[in-house]
Amino acid sequence: MTLNDMGQRAKKAAKTLSVLGIEKERALLRAAGALRQRQGEILSANREDLEKGEAQGLTPALLDRLRLTEGRIEDMARAMEQIAKEPDPIGRVVRGETRPNGLIIQQVTVPLGVIGIIFEARPNVTADACALCIKAGSAVILRGGKEAFASNKAIARVLGEALTEAGLPQGALQLIEDPSRASAQALMGLTEYLDVLIPRGGAGLIKAVKEGARVPVIETGVGNCHVFVDESAGISMAAEIIFNAKTSRPSVCNAIETVLVHSAIAKKALPAIAARLGEKNVELRGCPRTCAILPQAKPAAEEDWETEYLDYILAVKVVDSLEEALSHIAKYSSGHSEAIVTESYGNAQRFLQEVDSAAVYVNASTRFTDGGEFGLGAEIGISTQKLHARGPMGLSQLTSTKYLVRGAGQVR
Amino acid sequence: MTLNDMGQRAKKAAKTLSVLGIEKERALLRAAGALRQRQGEILSANREDLEKGEAQGLTPALLDRLRLTEGRIEDMARAMEQIAKEPDPIGRVVRGETRPNGLIIQQVTVPLGVIGIIFEARPNVTADACALCIKAGSAVILRGGKEAFASNKAIARVLGEALTEAGLPQGALQLIEDPSRASAQALMGLTEYLDVLIPRGGAGLIKAVKEGARVPVIETGVGNCHVFVDESAGISMAAEIIFNAKTSRPSVCNAIETVLVHSAIAKKALPAIAARLGEKNVELRGCPRTCAILPQAKPAAEEDWETEYLDYILAVKVVDSLEEALSHIAKYSSGHSEAIVTESYGNAQRFLQEVDSAAVYVNASTRFTDGGEFGLGAEIGISTQKLHARGPMGLSQLTSTKYLVRGAGQVR
């Protein structure tokens, strides 16, 4: 089947999905059940990917992302069930009014239509994306990375068959069975059928999609996140927040990559922070003033301020003021999440107001930028752009609206 | 000044604008006053454009769009004052919650940043766009059409000087003083500085921007709108709605271009509709069955179903069912506004649910798709896309949000 045929099928399926209610929930519950029942099939496909990956010398971190286990399949199924049972995001009246001329105007939520998702190594994205898009009344076309090709194919087959058995149209969930660069490129140009394209992955993928796409894109997930330790910060709180934000899960986008420390507190704070990070052997790359205080820090290069390490590495810089911290963040941040640790009311307020990122924190870890933690439910990603949705994108952020206007012959 | 310099200046100005409150209102009121005080300057620039336009043989309709008068300048000033006095759309808490772990999370509205607008003949867009963008806390870069070049320059100069005198930064309002194709192209690629680009104009402009832009775009204003006269329609109501939707202002995007009539009512309805439209000499282009009923109708070609005439021309087609009407609309509509005239509850509900346009009407004229008529205040255009905003885009639709998270040391 050509990509164009897939687009056509998705568009047709989207039309059907747009008017379904409880049927979406039932189909997704059945699909979650199928994941459990047919886990042998999925695990054996996953072994194929893992063997290829090992032969090709993938890093242990990548292999771990790729690996499925009974437990991980159970997690995927539970996540699908949870999304299935969420309140239906479609058909909600967002705003409603009777105008002076008697027109009854309602703005209601409607599905986006056809959602394309390009993702990298994690095969669980197939199940998450399927559940979120279908619950939001949209058809989805997935294009996964080549490392997880067999796993994605198996999961998509299991889910797709269950959805069809439950009465959903065939085009509701489709996987492009070609993990080449060309297929990604073709999906980015599928203007006639795709309502939005969401890339999930590293900075390279996001950049390629942003530059190559001719369909609307929602950028997600690149997180060059910062913590600024202000002059008035409580040092132990700062150390705990930094330790958590760097080490609780370094491979995710809401982990921090750079710490900025006010020079007035640097001599006391840096050794405490470094000691805590030392428990997990975090490599420090510091500016000259940092290196003067912390002999274990390596000198940081310009590119360290720009890098999303996604690893046990942290860039550290001493700054002389809140202004300098704000400028550094404005220059290097990817607009995801930044935090200040401070006891100053004024500085907290300025930081909240002036930092132009999706989530801005005072005295808390950036690791909370997450649909579940924000009370939005499961998410398809964290939007780092300003249009449409910013921050965690749950079911509501996967919808559009239209205006319904009921009259009795009004003319203007 | 290069476009890059303008972008840099706009970004700097946006930073200042983002934290202003009442100062935005004061500056816009002053700018509106300046339009009145310096109207001579504006009118004389406009005469220059009009003379050039006449020499180049612009159509009377285009010349009329271009023409400024004391009355039209007064309208521009009043529109600016009205926008200036709207409640500030920035800093509103959209959602707020204290999470179980004590984190206080608020989603608040923030400015988009730098907004680019490419527009065609109407010089009043300069004033409208200036007021809406600045009130919404964003800097704006305008690129107007060559026909209104002198007028736009004069208006931007008058407004810009007033804004600066009122203390706003220089980059808050900038006009690209080069109406060439190359300058539009350059603006579409200003990825480093532009947060969104909004084209205002005809289908050709929108298409060029959609295809050429590497910055996020909001499509506006192409309106291939339909009225479907259902079997059960009241004929006089149908004729009134069609007459209003076609002739009250044919040059705007919410005017209709095609009428679909159910075959069971066509013989009675078409002559009544044609008689009413005849009062304004509307040219009819019909399908063969329409032409058989209405001798005055010319035969319609395939392209008539696709065309946004913006003129006293209407395409007419007889259909055998609601389904056929829905298919025709799905195929040809630009997703702006469509109406059904019916007394059938079931058909009204199906039409509202299945038509995938920004505004869907029962028994009312499509001419109501407008920020003011919908109770949203002044608008920058009607979005025909599904992402970010759909339908009339007022001040609220020109904002983004960010999450503010206040903690007391929480880690995850």
What's B201's DSSP letter?
S
Q: Is A196 on the interface with B (CB under 8 A)?
A: yes
pLDDT mean over B352-373: 96
What's B172's DSSP letter?
G
ipTM: 0.94
* Mean pLDDT for all residues in chain B: 95
What's B87's DSSP letter?
P
Class of domain B225-368 (CATH, top level)? alpha beta
Q: Is the pLDDT of residue B395 over 90?
A: yes
Q: Which B residues, 27 through 56, put their C-beta within 8 Å of a C-beta on chain A?
A: none
pLDDT mean over B119-147: 94
Ranges of beta strands (E only) in A48-193 are: 93-98, 104-111, 114-119, 139-143, 173-175
Residues of chain A in contact with residue B385, where contact means CB-CB under 8 angstroms, are 216
**Which pLDDT value is given to residue B61?**
81
pLDDT mean over A278-301: 98
Could you report the per-residue pLDDT of B145-168, keeping only the tens digit for each? 999 999 999 999 999 999 999 999
Angle among Cα A23, A29, A30 to the nearest 5 degrees reads 90
Q: Which A residues, 103 through 122, put their C-beta within 8 Å of a C-beta on chain B?
A: 103, 105, 107, 110, 112-113
* Alpha-carbon gap, residue A394 to A253, rounded angstroms: 16
Rounded to the nearest angstrom, the minimum Cα separation between A216 and chain B is: 8
Cβ atoms within 10 Å of A184's Cβ, excluding its own: 22
Could you report the per-residue pLDDT of A114-156, keeping only the tens digit for each? 999 999 878 888 999 999 999 999 999 999 999 999 999 999 9
**Which pLDDT value is given to residue B202?**
82
Cβ atoms within 10 Å of B268's Cβ, excluding its own: 12
Q: Is B352 on the interface with A (CB under 8 A)?
A: yes
Higher pLDDT, A212 or B24: B24
Residues of chain A in contact with residue B241, where contact means CB-CB under 8 angstroms, are 409, 411
Cβ pair B364:A407 closer than 8 A: yes
Angle among Cα A188, A189, A190 to the nearest 5 degrees reads 100
* Alpha-carbon gap, residue A152 to A121, rounded angstroms: 10
3-state secondary structure A206-254: HHHHHHHCCCCECCECCCCEEEEECCCCCHHHHHHHHHHHHHCCCCCCC
* Alpha-carbon gap, residue B341 to B244, rounded angstroms: 13
Q: Is A385 on the interface with B (CB under 8 A)?
A: yes
* Alpha-carbon gap, residue A320 to B149, rounded angstroms: 48
* Alpha-carbon gap, residue B266 to B389, rounded angstroms: 37
* Alpha-carbon gap, residue A397 to A113, rounded angstroms: 13
**Which pLDDT value is given to residue A82?**
96
Residues of chain A in contact with residue B373, where contact means CB-CB under 8 angstroms, are 99, 103, 412
Residues of chain A in contact with residue B136, where contact means CB-CB under 8 angstroms, are none
**Which of these, B396, B398, B403, B375, lies nearest to B87 by C-alpha position?**
B396
Integer distance in angstroms from the first to the last C-alpha of chain B? 49
DSSP string covering A258-275: EEEEEHHHHHHHHHHHHH
SS3 A310: coil
Could you report the per-residue pLDDT of A322-356, keeping only the tens digit for each? 999 999 999 999 999 999 999 999 999 999 999 99
Just give the CATH number of B3-220+380-406.
3.40.605.10
What's A368's DSSP letter?
G
Q: Is A360 on the interface with B (CB under 8 A)?
A: yes
SS3 B371: coil
Contact B182, B157 (CB under 8 A): no
Cβ pair A402:B356 closer than 8 A: yes
Contact B233, B266 (CB under 8 A): no
Could you report the per-residue pLDDT of B284-323, keeping only the tens digit for each? 999 999 999 999 999 999 999 999 999 999 999 999 999 9
Residue with tokens 């392209």: B303
**Which pLDDT value is given to residue A115?**
98
**Which pLDDT value is given to residue A212?**
86
pTM of full prediction above 0.90: yes
* Alpha-carbon gap, residue B120 to B61, rounded angstroms: 13
Give the count of alpha carbons within 13 A of B43, CB side only.
Answer: 11
Check the CA dihedral A149-A150-A153-A155 and report its sign: negative
The contacts of residue A4 (CB under 8 Å, 6+ apart) are: A190, A192, A193
What does the domain layout of chain A look like in residue ranges?
3-220+380-406, 225-368
Give the one of B97, B195, B364 whose C-beta lies nearest to A410's C-beta.
Answer: B364
The contacts of residue B292 (CB under 8 Å, 6+ apart) are: none
Give the one of A360, A400, A407 whose C-beta lies nearest to B405's C-beta.
Answer: A360
* Alpha-carbon gap, residue B184 to B144, rounded angstroms: 9
Rounded to the nearest angstrom, the minimum Cα separation between A393 and chain B is: 13
* Alpha-carbon gap, residue A286 to A297, rounded angstroms: 6
**Which pLDDT value is given to residue B239?**
98
Q: Is the pLDDT of residue B121 over 80?
A: no
Could you report the per-residue pLDDT of A66-84, keeping only the tens digit for each? 999 999 999 999 999 999 9
SS3 B196: strand
* Alpha-carbon gap, residue B383 to A16, rounded angstroms: 24
Cβ atoms within 10 Å of A48's Cβ, excluding its own: 15
Q: Which A residues, 132 through 171, put their C-beta within 8 Å of a C-beta on chain B?
A: none
Residues of chain A in contact with residue B374, where contact means CB-CB under 8 angstroms, are 99, 105, 403
Beta bridge mates, A313: A283
What chain B residue is nearest to A196 in terms of C-alpha separation? B387
The residue type at B58: L
**Which pLDDT value is given to residue A207?**
86
Residues of chain B in contact with residue A359, where contact means CB-CB under 8 angstroms, are 402-403, 405
* Token representation of residue B139: 């800097």
* Alpha-carbon gap, residue A103 to A408, rounded angstroms: 8
DSSP string covering B208-277: HHHHH-SS-B--B----EEEEE-TT--HHHHHHHHHHHHHS-TTSTTSEEEEEEEHHHHHHHHHHHHHHH
* Strands A104-111 vs A399-410: parallel, antiparallel or unpaired: antiparallel
Cβ pair A214:B216 closer than 8 A: no
Could you report the per-residue pLDDT of B101-117, keeping only the tens digit for each? 999 999 999 999 999 99
Confidence of residue A1 (pLDDT cuts 50, 70, 90): confident
* Alpha-carbon gap, residue B101 to A344, rounded angstroms: 22
Cβ pair A409:B103 closer than 8 A: no
* Token representation of residue B91: 């800093």
Could you report the per-residue pLDDT of B171-223, keeping only the tens digit for each? 999 999 998 889 999 999 999 999 999 998 888 888 889 888 888 999 888 99
